A and B are shown apart, each in its own frame.
Chain A
Amino acid sequence: MTAQEMPMPTLAPRTRRPPNWLEAWLGHDVYRTVKGLVTNPMSVAGMILLGLFIFIAAAAPMLAPPLPNADPYNIPRDGYGDVPKSPGTEWKSRQPPLPFWWKAVTGKDQWVHLMGTASGQWDIYYGVIWGTRTALFAGLTITLCGVLIGVTIGTLSAFYGGWVDMVFMRITDLFMAFPFLLTAMTLSAVLTPRLGKGLLAPMIALIVFSWTGFARLLRSDILSLREREYVLAARVIGVKDTRIMFRHILPNAIFPTLVLASMRIGSYAITFAGLSFMGIGAEVGFADWGQLLSFARDWMTQLREYWYIVMYPGVTLVLFVLSWNLVGDALRDVLDPRMQGSR
């Protein structure tokens, strides 16, 4: 059964660029996606920023060592005074241990408030560093749970259709009918007395209202892909419906949902910070950017003097959201088949 036996003309062998070791290892599509991500300047900027945040989160104990025998997520405070202190002011009371690099860099033995203190003498620098962990944790967990719920409901809805679809989609409508922030706030406020003050209540509140977009998007993608001829072709060779759903349709339909998810991580982190800012989130003194910003509330009129109480946590929050959006945008461009010709 060789090509020579054939009476008909065969297609001429095409010369192809041999795949390099990375492409061979990752497979063509993953390789193309990764290559697209690392060659797009926007996504590189996003990934550098994101890498920085992940580094800060991982190295938090070294960048801002916590007080011994204290919860590291509680921001240490230098006294109880109302008036914020400017960056560079020396620690006076209950000073946390010096980070090992401080002396090497500055040659001083005295730990200072690198970014100043907020009203109530909370150390802003410490809050920004440890708040990175909170932001990453909250953003990723909320999005992951939202995607899981959304994917489950979207898949079930599209797979079974009929009344199952009807019921699920009307429930989704119900959840979408209220403004996201308002309902999340209300639910968080309702849950807080039951679950205690902390991260749990606001996170659950956000998860409960976060899945709707994912469910809708995935359902619609599955519904359109289900009518494709390759699905019929798979049915023709006798593949089971469940296998068609999971092996043929879902891998095609999931990409837009993943892109949406990557862009939502940043926005959930900012919403979470918003809840904290309004005091329905983490308890007072918890290392969280929204919390830090809320300390600045009473000093908003004097920002010319006390700019640092808003600037540092605010800019950090903006950069965090930006990094996810850049990565998400790039991911969307790379995965969009219509863009494939251009790169």
Chain B
Amino acid sequence: MAGTQHLLEVRNLTTRFHTEDGVVHAVNDVSYTLDEGDTLGVVGESGCGKSVHALSIMRLIQIPPGEIAGGEVIFRGQDLLKLSDDEMRKVRGAEIAMIFQDPMTSLNPVKTVGFQIMEALILHKGMDKASARERTVELLTLVGIPEAAQRVDDYPHQFSGGMRQRAMIAMGLSCDPSILIADEPTTALDVTIQAQIVELVKRLQHKFGMAVIWITHDLGVIAGMARRVNVMYAGRIIESGPVKEIYANPHHPYTVGLLGSLPGRSGRTSSRLFSIPGEPPDLVGLPPGCAFAPRCHYQTPRCLKETPPLEEVGPGHIAACWEKDKVRRV
């Protein structure tokens, strides 16, 4: 078993939020695996459950109103959902780290950047202050902060957005985790900085050998970064497979739509940008059948009645669509 074991195995993860409007089915029956050193991309539009699924893995959903209603998150053979709070705390940061979308708000304004990175080191590695500080300077240098020895005592407001995201990455990496979950880490940054951050994470991944789950709605970033990609819609994985395969040969109409709505590079600058008609469904009281059906070009009566299962369409490539054989890249 040991040789074939996956680093992380998510099985039928289901997360709900009990709100006044009803039960929000944020994550439905999500399953996938992640191996050591692998990179997984998770794409989908806003509100499709990308971030909530990541927070569910970390068990950082606020309960109530949230509830992890079912499933397993097997990390190195143990189910994270069954750990006690104290045990889970030891996993967070030390084994699974996470960086967030907005570096402007994810650092505490009244604490120095150094303090916030040192905190993890002192907590998980049992370092004393002096050695934690030394390591922090090392980490800051590693993520490309110039004059790290001085800047370690700076407050977040003295850092630019790109530098803060670098500091967040340093914080995430401080305890040498085996998984880094990056929740849209480039969304709030401008394009040149985005590229730098992507390069940085790639380089650090190479150096430390950690696995990365990269959550984004930017298909371009995923293409250059991930090996596999999960496409999520309405809290479900609707297509999953190797990046090249998905891009070249998508089998779910939603994936086709997503790829189609990328700004083209073919010089057709005058043509209107393609968009998927309609709006993403309300996750309260999802109708039966395929959640994408109301917006789908290939819709059949069956789509509105039965939820399509994920079925293999190619090597390592699965998609959940009744009409998957008809779907073609536009």
Residues of A within 8 A of B (CB): 1-3, 6-14, 28-29, 228-230, 232-240, 247-248, 251-252, 337
Contact = CB atoms under 8 A, between A and B. Distances in A.
Contacts of A240: 89
Interface in B152-185: 155, 158, 160, 162-163, 168, 171-172, 174-175
Given A232-B60, A236-B97, A237-B119, A10 B106 contact: no
Contact of A2 (B92, B97, B141, B162): B141
A238 B124 contact: yes
Contact of A3 (B97, B146, B162): B146
Given A13-B146, A13-B147, A233-B171, 8 more contacts: A11-B160, A11-B162, A29-B155, A229-B106, A233-B168, A234-B119, A239-B123, A248-B108
A9 B199 CA distance: 10
B60 A236 contact: yes
A11 B106 contact: no
Contact of A29 (B106, B110, B123): B110
Contacts of B91: 238
16 contacts: A1-B141, A11-B160, A229-B100, A230-B108, A232-B106, A233-B107, A233-B171, A234-B108, A234-B116, A235-B60, A236-B98, A237-B97, A237-B123, A237-B124, A252-B108, A252-B110
Interface in B202-221: 203
Contacts of B174: 237
A251 B110 contact: yes
Contacts of B98: 233, 236
Contact of A238 (B101, B107, B116, B120): B120
A22 to B, nearest CB: 16
Interface string B138-153: 1001101111000000
Nearest to B86: A240
B94 interface: yes
Interface of B: 58, 60, 89-94, 97-98, 100-102, 105-111, 116, 119-120, 123-124, 138, 141-142, 144-147, 155, 158, 160, 162-163, 168, 171-172, 174-175, 196, 199-200, 203
B94 A238 contact: yes
Nearest to B60: A235
Contacts of A248: 108, 111
Contacts of B90: 238
Contacts of B107: 230, 233
Contacts of A29: 110, 155
Nearest to A232: B60
A51 B174 CA distance: 48
Contact of A237 (B111, B145, B158, B171): B171
Given A8-B144, A29-B110, A252-B110, A236 B203 contact: no
B222 to A, nearest CB: 20
Given A7-B203, A8-B203, A230-B108, A1 B142 contact: yes
Contacts of B172: 236-237
Contact of B109 (A2, A13, A237, A252): A252
A256 to B, nearest CB: 13
Contacts of B101: 229
B196 A9 contact: yes
A11 B163 contact: yes
Interface centre among A6, A7, A252 (most CB of B within 10 A): A6
A205 B158 CA distance: 46
Given A3-B141, A13-B147, A236 B92 contact: yes
A8 to B, nearest CB: 5
A249 to B, nearest CB: 9
A252 B196 CA distance: 31
A105 B78 CA distance: 86
Given A3-B146, A29-B155, A233-B171, A228 B110 contact: no
B64 to A, nearest CB: 9
A6 B91 CA distance: 30
Nearest to A231: B108
A181 B146 CA distance: 58
A340 to B, nearest CB: 8
Contacts of A6: 144, 203
Contacts of B124: 237-238
Contacts of A251: 110-111
Contacts of A337: 109
10 tightest Cβ-Cβ pairs between the two chains A and B = A237-B93, A238-B92, A238-B93, A237-B120, A229-B106, A229-B105, A230-B108, A238-B89, A13-B146, A236-B98
A225 to B, nearest CB: 9
Contacts of B199: 7-8
Of B90, B110, B138, B199, most A-chain CB atoms within 10 Å: B110
A229 B99 CA distance: 10
Contacts of B196: 8-9
A10 B162 CA distance: 11
B138 A1 contact: yes
Nearest to B168: A233
A2 B137 CA distance: 11
A11 B144 contact: yes
A238 B144 contact: no
Contacts of A3: 141, 144, 146
Contacts of B155: 28-29
Nearest to B107: A230
Contacts of B147: 13
> A29, A229, A238 — which one has the most chain B CB atoms within 10 A of its CB?
A238
A237 B92 contact: yes
Contacts of B60: 232, 235-236
A8 B200 contact: yes
Contact of B58 (A10, A12, A229, A236): A236
A235 B142 CA distance: 24
Nearest to B117: A237
A29 B111 CA distance: 10
A29 B102 CA distance: 23
